[in-house]
A and B are shown apart, each in its own frame.
Chain A
Amino acid sequence: MAIIRDIMPAFELFQPATTEDALGLLDRYGSKAWVMAGGLDSFDWLKDRVKRTEFVVDLSQVKELRGIKAMDGGIEIGALTTLTEVVRDPMVKEKFSLLSEGAELAASPQIRNQGTIGGNVSQDARCWYYRGGFKCYRAGGNTCYADTPTAINREHAIFGANRCVAVNPSDTAPALVALDAKMVIRGKNGERTVNAEDYFIGPAIDITRMTVLQPGELLTAIRIPSTWAGAHFYFEKIRDRPVWDFPLVNIASAQKLTGDKIDSIRIVMNGLAAHPWRLKDVETAVTGKSRNEETAEMAGQMAIQGAQPLRYNGYKIPLTRNLVKRAIRGVQEPTWVS
């Protein structure tokens, strides 16, 4: 179980100045190396002694991994760019305001100043049984303590659970999937690019990881193509308190419209599954239809098909339905509607 202490356990700290040096260290220490970006997820794990490491590779000095630049009509965001920088960047605001909205709703201003976009998308699950040091499936064991008759599972998955019921807590991840972003990953064997949608993996593929990143690999940049630049965006985050909280559920959608007709659309939600949950069936169903109440209603109903709530998270079903309806309408409503 977690032992919460004020001081950090001992480890060897490396602060490489270049990506090459960082990759060299990761190659040398392999799965023993702990990659740290903003440190907001890492410090919890390490101080609580739930996860331990001998070698921490702190990326904060790798300047080349910071910043946002234009690229073929789209943009490239260095993985170490802080969430505040993403929120404030004029290019992001102008073309991909979906991402700046998502980033602005993450955590608190202090955390956004320190937290990076690479860290935000690669952060681990927040399930407190897992975080509490229980040897659950995600921690390499054989039990999900959040999926028992008496477990507190209000924040857990209603879709895509496979033994583990933890969810992905990122606010920027659904926006990036909706924008069809590409994740640039570097390792000793060179560079590879994966679609944001494929960057996140569920427990069916690997129950102990949230992303495709392997030991020795680094997420170096996120490229957002021009495909959805300037589209109609919708982002909404539902959380227990107005600031400094993880999403219970969030939704990111990008729509291209001709008049009222939906030409193309991507809808992605987080907080529902262990990876950003793209509503492909809904996207297909609403494409070509008018953006009106009827379409929104149909989309909302479709979105909840197949949901499997746990004891305390059934509320996520109407929440999902209503968020999808709102996303289709493109209008946030001040009061609860169902």
Chain B
Amino acid sequence: MGIVEFARSPWGQDVPIHALWYLIYVSAAAGLIFLVVHAVWARYFAGADEFAPSAPVQASRLPERVKRHSFAARAFHWIMAASMFALLITAFLPKVGVKFDWVEYHWIAGIVLIASILFHIIHATFFMDFWAIWPDKQDIQDAGNRLKLFLGKSAPLPKRFAKYPLENKMYHMAIVVTGLSVAITGFFMMFRVQTPFFTRNPYMFGDMMTGLMYVVHGLAGIGLIALITIHVYFAVRPEKLDITKSMIFGTLSREQYLEHHDPERWVVAELGKAAQK
């Protein structure tokens, strides 16, 4: 079985050549199983979110719509999503029997993805609250408390979320790992095909390194099938629709903000200004 296919190189070495493609179905099945299990859990077992009381804020100082995502952040998200779908479709449809001339579309979408990732790294590092998307100590503590409460043990109620819930942050980490894996390996794989950007050079790496790149690219790509299935599922869940809409329109309702987010952990500009006064 395994997850990697090996071949004998002309020099007699056994080298990895790519991920085994049955994993496409495994990943798709994993994504679907996750969403079925979650949907059942959410429908029959999940209780209402309970949080420890947050510090009081004067709701009247909050705007009716709280800004969550800048235009640049939203544009990045949707461009990345479009390129990601294009990449998955062009990569895996031929593997499951739908044959077409996919290579060119694939690397074009790959270029878009790489460009959008570079933009995002710069934008998030210098123009956004960089640490907002990474789990902090409070997230870990709250996750532990939530687990204890779920298992019927006594624990303090978790705090409301910062700008992003822990699930969001964990998903982002998974996307960072898989996305960077496909983008970096994909960049070097582009040297193996004809593009207008570089002189083609399929001999940049030896058989072993080339094989490892294909394996990482394949496994990360296959992982993205499940990850994106799960992402789309959460995006259309009724209780998450406000968050999805905020990725389109950029804002969240004041009620949603106060209900799920801790104003001390996610300080919106208007409250910040008020506090300074």
Residues of B within 8 A of A144 (CB): 202
Q: How large is the interface on B (under 10, 10 to 19, 20 to 34, 35 or more residues)?
A: 20 to 34
Residues of B within 8 A of A140 (CB): 5, 17
Chain A interface helix/strand/loop/mixed: loop
Q: B168-184: which residues lie under 8 A (CB-CB) from chain A?
A: none
Contact of B202 among A134, A143, A201 (CB under 8 A): A143
Contact of A142 among B94, B203, B210 (CB under 8 A): B210
Contact of A148 among B94, B193, B202 (CB under 8 A): B202
Q: B200-227: which residues lie under 8 A (CB-CB) from chain A?
A: 202-203, 207, 210-211, 214
A141 at the interface (CB under 8 A from B): yes
Residues of B within 8 A of A204 (CB): 101-103
In the bound complex, do residue B100 and residue A142 qualify as a contact, i.e. CB atoms below 8 Å apart?
Answer: no
Residues of A within 8 A of B210 (CB): 142-143
Residues of A within 8 A of B100 (CB): 205
A291 at the interface (CB under 8 A from B): no
In chain A, what residue has the closest Cβ to B9? A135
Given A148-B202, A204-B103, A205-B100, are A141 and B10 also a contact pair (CB < 8 Å)? no
Residues of A within 8 A of B94 (CB): 206
Residues of B within 8 A of A134 (CB): 10
In the bound complex, do residue B193 and residue A143 qualify as a contact, i.e. CB atoms below 8 Å apart?
Answer: no
A1 at the interface (CB under 8 A from B): yes
Complex Cα–Cα for A135 and B9 (A) = 7
Residues of B within 8 A of A205 (CB): 99-101
In the bound complex, do residue A143 and residue B99 qualify as a contact, i.e. CB atoms below 8 Å apart?
Answer: no
In the bound complex, do residue B7 and residue A135 qualify as a contact, i.e. CB atoms below 8 Å apart?
Answer: yes
In the bound complex, do residue A163 and residue B192 qualify as a contact, i.e. CB atoms below 8 Å apart?
Answer: yes
In chain B, what residue has the closest Cβ to A161? B194
Q: How large is the interface on A (under 10, 10 to 19, 20 to 34, 35 or more residues)?
A: 10 to 19
Q: A134-182: which residues lie under 8 A (CB-CB) from chain B?
A: 134-135, 140-145, 147-149, 162-163
Given A135-B7, A149-B203, A163-B103, are A142 and B17 also a contact pair (CB < 8 Å)? yes
Given A163-B192, A163-B193, are A143 and B103 also a contact pair (CB < 8 Å)? no
In the bound complex, do residue A141 and residue B7 qualify as a contact, i.e. CB atoms below 8 Å apart?
Answer: yes
Complex Cα–Cα for A149 and B201 (A) = 10
B148 at the interface (CB under 8 A from A): no
Residues of B within 8 A of A149 (CB): 203
Residues of A within 8 A of B17 (CB): 135, 140-142
B18 at the interface (CB under 8 A from A): yes
In chain A, what residue has the closest Cβ to B102? A204
In chain B, what residue has the closest Cβ to A134? B10
Residues of A within 8 A of B18 (CB): 141-142
Residues of B within 8 A of A145 (CB): 10
A1-30 vs B, Cβ < 8 Å mask (1 yes, 0 no): 100000000000000000000000000000
In the bound complex, do residue B202 and residue A147 qualify as a contact, i.e. CB atoms below 8 Å apart?
Answer: yes
Chain A residues within 8 Å of B, Cβ to Cβ? 1, 134-135, 140-145, 147-149, 162-163, 201, 204-206
Could you list some 8 contacts between A and B, CB below 8 A?
A: A135-B17, A140-B5, A142-B17, A142-B18, A143-B210, A147-B202, A163-B193, A205-B99
